[in-house]
Chains A and B, each alone.
Chain A
Amino acid sequence: MPELHISIDQDELDISFEPGAASVKDLLDQHGITLPSHCGGVGKCGLCMVRIESGACSPLSLSEQSTLTAEEIKQGGRLACQVKPLADISLSIHKADNPTAWAELDSSASTGEPSASDAHGQSNGQINGLNYGLAIDLGTTQIRATLWNLESNSRIDGITELNPQAKFGADVLSRLAAAKSSTEQAEQLSQLARDAVGEAVQILTSRHNLPTSAIKAVTIVANTAMLALFAGRNYEHLLELDYWQKPVDCLPEPDHTQAWAKAWGADADATIELVQPLAGFVGSDLLAGILSTNLMASEDAALLIDFGTNSEVALWDGSRLWVTSAAGGPAFEGSGLSCGMPMMQGAIYKISAGSEDEDAFEFDVLGGGAAIGICGSGLVDAIACLLKQGKLNIVGRLAEAFAKEGMPLDRSGSIRIRNRDIDLFQRAKGATGAAIAYLLEQSGLQSNMLNRVCITGAFGSGLDCRNAAMIGLIPDVKAEIIELHSDHALCGCEMLLLAPEKKRELACMRQQARLINMSLAAEFDMLFVDKLFLKPL
């Protein structure tokens, strides 16, 4: 059989294949290499572009001809979902989303102080005495996990990876639809998430010379769809309007949790808790965020925005709690954008206009190495800079000169922001902006009456709040009342792992929260259109 020779950044791989049968994307999928995709593999989004270095392939499809630029085609660019190899070929991939790669979690994300190595784990031979736990924020796009010593209540380590379920779609709707279409796919989705937890257990314990059986507790917070898919419960109802407003049971069967503990190598009696959601569209991740920000203890009005693929918003008006969510798509997480990537090493996370040459940008890259793409906070800066420079209008269109090829960010021009990327960002922003505006309206508050604005989620702690306010991502409030945090949901999850009494607070919160379902609000669409524009909220 002919072979596909693949180079991914520094790695090389050979795959044999049946000529003409499967697309490059299918072949890569079968070998665990998942390319980004937003269109479901019909050649429209352009995210799965690979470069064919040599060898014979199927001719350019119509969708490739309309999606790829002449320049990209000239350089051997093809869409993996469209191109079928016919004989031996060599291809290169630059921006593979490698779902198995766990990366270091920004240590500021946690409530406790990280300790480099855990003396207790190394010196204490009594394995039975080890008492460790994992807190997990299972996001639609990113999973974050921290390891805790439950005796000393100290944080040992933290890691993050992309949610491997993304191969079923970037947003919760496509994953729920996949699960609903067959129990086999539903099981696969659940398995992917459970395996990710298993990997986190494995990696975090082995790094600190701990046996996996030292894990006595795992606490997971997530949005309702993630919880339902994980537990294999009620996911089939989440697409129905009637269930959005109701509590949704995502409790796993006890024999399931025992099986999971066994699969992960955790202690046989480990407590595994999926913190239950509030309703079909408000997950336990938001509840955890409210808990860790102590939102309800604020004397005056306080707003919490958790930006993500599924953004969630909570508003405390001093006596009442309002909660909602807005599914704006994965643009905040850098997913679905031609130039985008998650907040991981190689991501441009901060941009400012150059001081000497006003056309150039200066940017900061996570990890300090070469820039690979741009993550959400970088995109916010880029959009604000382009607006200030007059290269972008508030409608979201780049000036004519950049309309076709996009606006190059780096000197080589390999990272470009295109009209399409800005539009996707606007849609995500429009949905969250509408949710914020609607909650304020419902509670009779105005943004200048807010006393605290807590921002967490996809943008991490690197968000430039002035830029964010200028383009209407967050309310235009005084800088000193803004609290930026990389992951309030994870912190809340950690509290629940460490302090069981916090569960009472959670129960109280469940009682008090007033659910607002944006999709049932008649005004939503018009608010959404208004918030698409790149201007202050």
Chain B
Amino acid sequence: MQHKIIQDYNEAVYDTDRDKALEVINRALADGITPEQIVFDVIIPAMEAMMASISKDFDANLAQHFMAAQIASEVTEEMISRFQNPPESLGTIVIGTSVGDMHTLGKRIVSGCLRSMMIDVVDLGVNVKPETFVDKAVEINAPVIAISSMMMHTATSENGCLRVREILKERGLEDKIKLVVGGAPFRWDNDLYKTVGADAWADNGISAGEMIKKFVLESRS
């Protein structure tokens, strides 16, 4: 029974068929599966399976990658609203794109994955100044700043991650806030994250989510 739901849902997500995915979930609810079970036993494993297949295939299909995260996030939000007890948020992080970078897709994919993992996201938008990242993280006590850069020159800009690292250093925040980066240039050069002063990078939505979740959990202990 559960297995069939996972399989049908997976298939729908794989085809980026949002309506069918919702239909599968609604049928499961009607059959007495709880919203909690749907999030933890269907959506999260399905995302993991999808991202595993995507990460094996370099630069895999963007439409699919994006829609998978979008559907997962949408279904999760819907399910959470029906939870018996509102789930405890694991923490809140800030995310945005670096100065000069107007690409929002990577950030949206990661945010979608994080929401389905019970992590809240404050989205600072695009073309975000280094100071804004740090100020907001301090204000809301975020343990992670996530920066998306889709172009080499915005990834390595002195006004991007490099500057955020400097500010963290200047203000003595390096123990409290981890810096995570993502985007196409980091996939071309897997050591680039070190060059720009980040603590970690991830090459797809789910691994970014897992990486960020790990940092969030560490900060709570």
- A→B interface (CB under 8 Å): 39-40, 42, 44-45, 66-67, 173-174, 176-177, 180, 239-241, 393, 395-397, 419-420, 422-424, 426-427, 430, 519-520, 524-525, 528-529, 532-533
Contact = CB atoms under 8 A, between A and B. Distances in A.
A239 B100 contact: yes
Contacts of B189: 40, 42
A525 B127 contact: no
Contacts of A423: 59-62
A241 B61 contact: no
6 shortest interchain CB distances as A-B pairs: A532-B63, A519-B102, A525-B104, A177-B153, A423-B61, A395-B16
Given A39-B188, A520-B102, A173 B59 contact: no
Given A177-B153, A525-B104, A529-B66, 16 more contacts: A42-B188, A44-B58, A44-B187, A173-B153, A177-B152, A393-B15, A396-B63, A397-B14, A420-B60, A422-B61, A423-B59, A423-B61, A426-B63, A520-B102, A532-B66, A533-B63
Given A40-B188, A67-B58, A427-B62, A528 B152 contact: no
B168 interface: no
B1 to A, nearest CB: 26
Contacts of B102: 241, 519-520, 524
Contacts of B66: 529, 532
Contacts of A524: 102
A420 B63 contact: no
Contacts of A176: 153
Contact of A419 (B14, B60, B105, B188): B60
A419 B127 contact: no
B100 A420 contact: no
Interface string B7-44: 00000001110000000000000000000000000000
A427 B104 CA distance: 14
B219 interface: no
B129 interface: no
B64 A397 contact: yes
A39 B100 CA distance: 22
Contacts of A177: 152-153
B200 interface: no
A396 B153 contact: no
A239 B14 CA distance: 36
Contacts of B213: none
A395 B153 contact: no
B61 A419 contact: yes
A424 B57 CA distance: 13
Contacts of A173: 151-153
B103 interface: yes
Contacts of A525: 103-105, 108
Contacts of A241: 100, 102, 127
A520 B15 CA distance: 30
9 contacts: A42-B188, A42-B190, A67-B58, A173-B153, A396-B63, A397-B14, A525-B108, A529-B62, A533-B63
B83 to A, nearest CB: 28
Contacts of A39: 188
A39 B184 CA distance: 10
A189 B110 CA distance: 37
A450 B16 CA distance: 31
B62 A532 contact: yes
Contacts of B64: 395-397
A423 B187 CA distance: 16
A176 B100 CA distance: 14
Interface in B42-72: 57-64, 66-67
Given A40-B188, A42-B189, A420 B152 contact: no
Nearest to A518: B102
Interface residues of B, number: 27
Contacts of B63: 395-396, 426, 430, 529, 532-533
Nearest to A520: B102
Nearest to A174: B152
Nearest to B57: A419
Contact of A180 (B15, B57, B153, B188): B153
A424 B190 CA distance: 21
A426 B105 contact: no
Nearest to B53: A403
Contacts of A239: 100, 153
Contacts of A180: 153
Nearest to B58: A44
Contacts of A419: 57, 60-61
A176 B14 CA distance: 37
Interface in B72-130: 100, 102-105, 108, 127
Counting chain A CB atoms within 10 Å of each CB, which of B62, B63, B64 scores highest? B63
Nearest to B156: A177
A408 B14 CA distance: 24
A404 B66 CA distance: 21
B58 A395 contact: no
B188 A397 contact: no
B152 A396 contact: no
Contacts of B188: 39-40, 42, 44
Contacts of B108: 525
Nearest to A403: B57
A89 B66 CA distance: 45
Contacts of A426: 61-63
Contacts of A397: 14, 61, 64
A533 B66 CA distance: 12
Nearest to A171: B151
A533 B57 CA distance: 19
Nearest to B105: A525
A128 B100 CA distance: 52
A15 to B, nearest CB: 27
A427 B62 CA distance: 8
A240 B102 CA distance: 11
B116 to A, nearest CB: 18
A399 to B, nearest CB: 12
B100 A396 contact: no
B59 A420 contact: yes
Nearest to A169: B152
A479 B57 CA distance: 38
Nearest to B107: A525
Interface string B163-203: 00000000000000000000000011110000000000000
B65 to A, nearest CB: 9
Nearest to B106: A525
B175 to A, nearest CB: 33
A241 B157 CA distance: 13
B55 to A, nearest CB: 11
A391 to B, nearest CB: 15
Counting chain A CB atoms within 10 Å of each CB, which of B66, B67, B102, B127 scores highest? B102
Contacts of B57: 419-420
